[in-house]
């Protein structure tokens, strides 16, 4: 079936057409310029922009896929979690289209969209292990089905991308911080300055990154106090030390997560890392070698399908539809919606 997907939960308005694992089109309209002056996403501005742009995104997606609304078999929209105004815009649009076309409506969890992306891009079999690692997220999930996720652990404070961004800010490097820190780190000695490896002394898969920022700030201030300023070499060494700490912690927690996952003897064991931080070559290489050591498949979906998009929502909608899930007009937009049902039972509108 041909699924139209809508995404509007944060600051990207997106529409896509997906058939099975085929992405016919994926249109993403960012809102960076609208929010730039405010230093963050302004929910009211985002909601209005989504409402104004969804129509056009759908039109462009149909155009690029060379199909018409009449060809669409079902409409999937992000129903949460996210900024409620934006989520509402997408859900309302999906309801209107569903009613007008007489085609099924499917409310999709945005995080499920991210978590199912390795099936869209690499065709991974259930269950697989996933690490979502971005500017806003860091968690390990065992993905067992389109509605069946087990969270093994995650960050108890900052997300790693956020830590990269703060590091760049503290060292006067351009944003987004991840790429600038990675480039600096290439010329730095990672052993010159000491960074902690937070939570490695504790069992389990939880992570913490806020202490790295404190360690960085302390050492930067010490260098400046001792020598009246940071040299290029200092900056490179601080970046290298920080990045090595993030790399080591992610690699060790991935080992533990794989250990838990392998206890379930998956038939086609696989690990996927997704999110902006997965673009970091040092981190990616470390995670890949952990997988090689365990003899399990390593995948990392392309970045354009890891950042917010509607193709992942349409794909997830297709899987849900195949599993017999669809929703009626009582489908609600949910600001909070944890993936792991043990964390919060899903009450709702599934048929």
Task: Give the residue, chosen from 161, 241, 269, 318, that forms a contact with ligand ATP under the rule CB under 6 A.
Answer: 161
Cα R_g (the chain), whole angstroms: 21
Supply the minimum distance, in Å, between the C-beta of residue 266 and ligand ATP: 26
CA distance 289 to 152: 21
Phi-psi region of 303 (alpha: psi -120 to 50; beta: other; left: phi over 0): alpha
Q: Which is nearer to ligand ATP, 65 or 152 (CB)?
A: 152
Piece of 16-24, 203-211, 263-271, 277-285 that binds ligand ATP (CB under 6 A): 277-285
3-state SS class at 206: coil
Task: Give the residue, chosen from 80, 82, 146, 275, that forms a contact with ligand ATP under the rule CB under 6 A.
Answer: 275
Query: For residue 16, is the peptide bond before it cis, meaning its omega torsion is within 30 degrees of 0?
Result: no
| Contacts for 92 with CB less than 8 Å, ≥ 6 apart | none
Q: Which is nearer to Fe ion, 14 or 257 (CB)?
A: 14
Task: Give the residue, chosen from 179, 266, 348, 350, that forms a contact with ligand ATP under the rule CB under 6 A.
Answer: 179
Piece of 71-79, 146-154, 160-168, 318-326 that binds ligand ATP (CB under 6 A): 160-168
Starting at the edge strand found earlier in the chain, the sheet holding 128-133 runs 148-154, 138-145, 128-133, 270-274, 297-299
Q: What's the start-to-end Cα distance of the chain, in Å?
A: 19
Site string for Fe ion, 305-334 (x = CB under 5 A): ---x--------------------------
Q: Which is nearer to ligand ATP, 206 or 308 (CB)?
A: 308
CA distances from 256 to 142, 207, 241 (A): 13, 12, 23
Contacts with ligand ATP by CB under 6 A lie at: 134-137, 161-162, 164-165, 176-179, 182, 275-277, 279-280, 306-308
């Amino acid at each position: 079936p041909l699924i139209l997907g809508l995404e509007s939960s944060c600051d990207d308005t997106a529409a896509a057409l997906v058939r099975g694992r085929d992405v016919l089109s994926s249109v993403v309209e960012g809102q960076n310029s609208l929010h730039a002056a405010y230093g963050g996403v302004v929910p009211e501005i985002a909601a209005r922009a989504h409402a104004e742009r969804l129509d056009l995104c759908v039109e462009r997606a149909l155009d690029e896929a060379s199909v018409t609304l009449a060809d669409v078999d079902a409409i999937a929209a992000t129903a949460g979690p996210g900024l409620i105004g934006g989520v509402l815009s997408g859900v309302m649009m999906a309801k209107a289209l569903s009613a007008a076309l007489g085609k099924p409506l499917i409310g999709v969890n945005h995080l499920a969209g991210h978590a199912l992306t390795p099936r869209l891009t690499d065709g991974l079999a259930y269950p697989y292990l996933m690490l979502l690692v971005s500017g806003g997220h860091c968690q390990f999930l065992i993905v067992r089905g389109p509605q069946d996720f087990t969270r093994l652990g995650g960050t108890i404070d900052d997300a790693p991308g956020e830590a990269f961004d703060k590091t760049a800010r503290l060292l006067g490097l351009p944003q987004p911080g991840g790429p600038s820190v990675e480039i600096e780190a290439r010329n730095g000695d990672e052993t010159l300055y000491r960074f902690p490896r937070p939570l490695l002394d504790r069992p389990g898969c939880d992570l913490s990154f806020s202490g790295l920022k404190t360690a960085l700030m302390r050492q930067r201030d010490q260098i400046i106090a001792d020598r009246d300023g940071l040299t290029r070499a200092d900056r490179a060494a601080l970046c290298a030390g920080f990045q090595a700490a993030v790399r080591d912690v992610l690699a060790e927690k991935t080992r533990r997560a794989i250990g838990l996952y392998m206890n379930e003897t998956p038939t086609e064991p696989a690990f996927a890392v997704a999110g902006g931080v997965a673009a970091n070559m040092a981190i990616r290489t470390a995670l890949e070698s952990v997988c090689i050591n365990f003899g399990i498949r390593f995948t990392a979906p392309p970045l354009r399908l890891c950042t917010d998009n509607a193709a992942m929502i349409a794909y997830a909608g297709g899987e849900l539809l195949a599993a017999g899930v669809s929703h009626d007009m009582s489908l609600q937009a949910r600001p909070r919606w944890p993936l792991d049902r043990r964390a919060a039972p899903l009450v709702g509108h599934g048929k």
